[in-house]
Amino acid sequence: MALVDVKGVTKRFGGLTAVSDVDLTVNAGEIHCLIGPNGAGKSTLFKLIVGLYPPTKGAILFDSIDITEERPFARVQRGMSIKMQAPSVFKELRVRQNIQIALQKRFSDAKRVVEEDRLLTLLHLAPESGKLAGALSHGQQQWLEIGMALALQPQLLLLDEPTAGMSPEETFRTGELIKSFNAEGMTVLVVEHDMAFVRQIAQRVTVLHLGKIFARGNLEAIIQDEKVAEIYLGKTHAH
Amino acid sequence: MFKLLDGSQTLGRGWTFWSCFLVVLTAALIYPVFADSYDVGNFSYFLIWIFMALGLCLMWGYGGMLSFGQTLFFGISGYAYGVLAINMGGGSTTIAALILSIVIAMIAAGILGYFMIWGGINGIFFGIVTLSATLVLAFFLGQTAGPEWHIGPARLNGYNGMKGMDPLAVGDFYIEGSALYYFMVALIVIVYLALRMLVNSRIGNVIVATRENPQRAEMLGYDVRKYQLLTFIIGSGLAGLSGALYTSWGQFITPSSIGLPAAAMPIVWVAFSGRTDLTATLVGSFLLLFGFQTITVYSQQAALVLMGALLLATVMLAPQGFVLGVGKLVADRWTARRRRGASAALADASRLQPDET
């Protein structure tokens, strides 16, 4: 069953068409990766889905409801949760307070503190909980933002390059974390460059090229596709 | 609910802070016993402006909205109090006039704020639009000297100022002199404690989150526009409270209390004090008002120049505010001293242990 249905979406910036007549379906319960070379339109499509850009044409459905005109907060209230490409945290607030603000809608004070501790431990940020979020390393800020997104317990987790700036070990840990939440029923849509990370988590892949859908399917099929290898993976990586 | 009095958004917590608070409050309460009535009246005058400063602290320091519109809402409420008090006949109705004038200021803030916030005006443009609205009101009121500018028997009187309204009263008892002073102190305590609870609450968390990163706050499911509007209405309403109290205190209000020099004053008070903390704003604004008034006795121009110099010094030397900086320094030293004391006690205890066993 489709949780997200992008129907014929186009986004133009003046004379530049960043996304052109794209159809994309993300099924409930899957980890769906959106890949493509630089300038393919991945991040633009991501921003269209989360509501940061209004589409020039087309419609976006979430759980069969048309959300094309809705602002990001309304989409989040419907069950989306978003992690942007660059770390986007409350830098002048403490790490725990960042998590607290994400959790406070769902929990009473006492239960919230327990959940804060659980998340901070899960994210390996418990020793840093009293620090200002801006004092964390880039990778830790990425983790913190992922934690804030997870704190909402969304139906759909949207991640734009979640492992940028992370070490290989941190990247692997992030992949395992995403897989564990997916195993509990969370649908995940990831925009990612790192093919090792995509291999680790992807169940279905969509390849964008020049703003259009170029290919889609499972990762193995995509890797075997000569045309995809040519435009993105490079022939030497195909096997 | 009262546990929200202490929290991560406010400086000062625990028995030390609240003991100091009680000492200051006690001193404020017994002050009229020792001071002459002129000084008590002067102190009431300083306290009038504190509400406006606290309102700006909430909007600018906590919400990230630099509003130059505090004297706009001060003026709206001040004139509204005058018009209502004159038209309603004075006496006990002045209390209703006070409340209504604040409500009017808040409604005006709601309308202006709605168009600004939903229109996506933020940052420096927020300051420009609020300043423009302030100047429009000041210029408008300045040209109302003619007899045709009246609302019922209340004449606006242009730059000559509006007068003839009753001070606050309950029955035949006029709230003036020491009574007005105590009324102000009570209101300040209520407003200060209520604001502490607000900024340490869940709503306060979102207000601060919106200041830090509005997009992230929205991505957590908060409609940040509503929180910004709420902050703007409360902050402007507090300016309205100052305006109504000012008119009641002096039974007089002129457009000069709205115009550019007046509009810049709250910015100086709050910037100098430390915009991100209510206590720093309360203390710093009072000190500045006291200093300003003292210098004004000798030269008003010198006082204005000093305010400008203080703003420059704040921006260049202590962008977070002088009073807040001193407060944090004292708090850090106090904490370090207590930690050293605790460590020394622990070391003594561990030295004693072998002898005891």
Return the percentage of chain A with pLDDT > 70, whole number.
97
- Tell me: pLDDT of A75 over 60: yes
CB-CB neighbors (< 8 A) of B220 in chain A: 76, 101-102, 105, 148, 152
> Cα separation of B102 and B239, whole Å?
9
pLDDT, average across residues A14-28: 93
Residue A235: pLDDT band with limits 50, 70, 90: low
> Cα separation of B294 and A174, whole Å?
62
- Tell me: pLDDT of A231 over 80: no
pLDDT, average across residues A157-176: 89
Closest CA to B85 of B217, B253, B239: B253
pLDDT, average across residues A187-211: 91
Tens digit of each residue's pLDDT (9 = 90 or more) over A119-153: 999 989 999 999 999 999 988 999 999 999 999 99
pLDDT at A163: 87
Helix or strand or coil: residue A35?
A: strand
Kindly state whether B4 is in contact with chain A, defined as any CB-CB distance less than 8 angstroms.
no
Interface test with chain A among B219, B224, B275, by most A beta carbons within 10 Å: B219
pLDDT at A33: 94
CB-CB neighbors (< 8 A) of A52 in chain B: 215
In a domain, A48, yes or no: no
pLDDT at A1: 82
ipTM of this model?
Answer: 0.90
CB-CB neighbors (< 8 A) of A152 in chain B: 220-221
Residue A234: pLDDT band with limits 50, 70, 90: low
Return the percentage of chain A with pLDDT > 90, whole number.
67
Domain count within chain B: 1
> Cα separation of A37 and A35, whole Å?
7
Take residue B129 and report the two structure tokens written for it. 């639009």
- Tell me: pLDDT of A233 over 60: no
Q: Are strands A187-191 and A156-160 parallel, antiparallel or unpaired?
A: parallel
Dihedral pair phi/psi, residue A220, rounded to 5° = -60, -45
pLDDT at B353: 58
Per-residue b/e over B91-101, b at no fewer than 16 CB within 10 Å?
ebbbeebbebb
Most trustworthy range by pLDDT among A40-44, A209-213, B195-199, B331-335: B195-199
Domain count within chain A: 1
Exposure of B9 in the CB half-sphere (CA atoms within 13 A): 30
Domain around A224: 30-42+71-237
Interface test with chain B among A53, A62, A71, A73, by most B beta carbons within 10 Å: A73
CATH number for the domain spanning B283: value is 1.10.3470
In a domain, A112, yes or no: yes
Tens digit of each residue's pLDDT (9 = 90 or more) over A63-74: 999 999 999 999
The parts of chain B modelled with pLDDT lower than 50 are 355-357
Closest CA to A195 of A169, A226, A161, A167: A161
Q: Do A73 and B222 count as a contact with CB atoms less than 8 A apart? A: yes
Q: Taking a C-beta distance cutoff of 8 angstroms, is the pair A194, A159 a contact?
A: no
Domain around B248: 2-356
pLDDT at B91: 84
In a domain, A15, yes or no: no
CATH number for the domain spanning A128: value is 3.40.50.300
pLDDT at A238: 44
Which of A50, A90, A92 lies at the smallest CB-CB distance from B216? A90
